């Protein structure tokens, strides 16, 4: 199969008896952010890795290309360094579904050999052999289930060791902080900015920073008060406008009443005149 958008397409099969041909997409790992554990000219970037492919599976599939130092799996491409978990009990869940892999060779020749593999649809790369078989889903499920059963004694032992190291580090830090407090011949002690209630260093830069913060607070307060006064003045002007409008509307209503009263009077006189004329 031809290469696809910079990737080399590698046909693979799970085993010799399988009739399904899958495809892995390979290329050299090139990223803007460099990762020491994934050197550019020694790392093979693989996309479309099935869930059943484990570290030993890929190592066996590509070991004839060159010596492999390490294999990293991720849910999606990432340039960051893989996380190292010192505890076997507190690790993230395994990746579900397809994933990406970074195969790090010991030499650049291993990467070159992997990118020059000649595999076709009729002769794909075989992932599972007798020396390195791919486990089926039931075996993997049983392995994960047994791996999730935690030995309470071992966990407690690991927690005790961690807390002992933490307490030792804390006591050493407190001891160092106490030693920093010196007492001279007159009984005076030099208090540092470290401790439970830390102060601030008596430096010129620190003093200037404090003065600048105080000045900014004063300016902000002045502007805030001015803004409040402006709001109050706007409300007063709005109230005056409403009062003037009310007075104007009231005058209009009085004028309208007078007009209506005059009109009624004229109509009454006119009706009387017509009655008398008849």
pLDDT: which is higher, 233 or 193: 233
Q: What is the pLDDT of residue 119?
A: 86
Average pLDDT over the chain, rounded to an integer: 79
SS (H, E, C) 202-232: CCHHHHHHHHHHHHHHHHHHHHHHHHHHHHH
pLDDT score of 261 more than 70: yes
- pLDDT, residue 14, reads 84
Q: Identify the residue whose tokens are 């307490």.
A: 167
pLDDT on residue 104: 93
Q: Is the pLDDT of residue 131 over 80?
A: no
DSSP one-letter string for 166-211: HHHHHHHHHHHHHHHS-B-TTS-B---S-SSS------HHHHHHHH
What's the rounded Cα separation, in Å, for the pair 2 and 119? 11
Asked whether residue 184 carries a pLDDT value surpassing 80, the answer given is no
Tell me, what's the pLDDT at 26?
A: 92
Q: What percentage of the chain exceeds 70 in pLDDT? A: 75
**Structure token digits, residue 128:** 């599972």
Nearest Cα residue to 106 out of 39, 195, 159 = 39
Given this model, what pLDDT does residue 44 score?
93
83 confidence band (pLDDT: 50, 70, 90): low
pTM above 0.95, yes or no: no
**Chain centre to alpha carbon of residue 169:** 31
Q: Which of 37-41, 87-91, 138-142, 188-192 has the highest mean pLDDT?
A: 37-41
**pLDDT in the model for residue 107:** 92
- Give the pLDDT band of residue 203 (cuts 50, 70, 90): low
Mean pLDDT across the stretch 84-100?
73
60: pLDDT strictly greater than 80:
yes
CA nearest neighbour of 102 among 133, 134, 124, 76: 76
Between 24 and 208, the higher pLDDT residue: 24
Q: What is the pLDDT of residues 32-58, one digit of tens each?
A: 888 888 888 999 999 999 888 888 888
Whole-angstrom distance, CA of residue 160 vs CA of residue 193: 32
């Amino acid at each position: 199969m031809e290469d696809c958008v910079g990737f080399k397409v590698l046909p693979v099969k799970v085993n010799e008896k399988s009739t399904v041909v899958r495809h892995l997409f390979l290329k050299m790992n090139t990223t803007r952010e460099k990762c020491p554990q994934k050197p550019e000219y020694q790392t093979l970037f693989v996309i479309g890795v099935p869930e059943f492919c484990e570290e030993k599976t890929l190592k066996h599939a590509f070991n004839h290309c060159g010596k492999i130092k390490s294999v990293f799996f991720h849910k999606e491409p990432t340039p960051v360094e893989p996380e190292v978990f010192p505890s076997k009990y507190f690790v993230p869940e395994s990746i579900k579904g397809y994933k990406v892999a970074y195969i790090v060779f010991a030499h650049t020749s291993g990467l070159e050999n992997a990118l020059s593999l000649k595999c076709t649809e009729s002769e794909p790369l075989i992932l599972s052999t007798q020396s390195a078989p791919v486990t089926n889903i039931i075996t993997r499920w049983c392995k994960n289930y047994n791996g999730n059963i935690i030995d309470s004694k071992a966990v407690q032992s690991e927690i005790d060791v961690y807390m002992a190291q933490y307490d030792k580090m804390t006591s050493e830090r407190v001891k160092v902080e106490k030693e920093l407090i010196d007492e001279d011949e007159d009984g005076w002690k030099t208090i540092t900015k470290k401790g439970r209630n830390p102060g601030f260093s008596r430096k010129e830069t620190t003093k200037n920073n404090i003065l600048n913060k105080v000045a900014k607070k004063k300016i902000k307060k002045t502007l805030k008060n001015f803004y409040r006064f402006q709001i109050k003045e706007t409300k007063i002007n709005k109230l005056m406008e409403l009062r003037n409008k009310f007075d104007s509307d009231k005058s209009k209503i009085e004028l309208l009443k007078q007009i209506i009263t005059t009109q009624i009077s004229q109509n009454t006189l006119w009706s009387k005149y017509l009655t008398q004329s008849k």
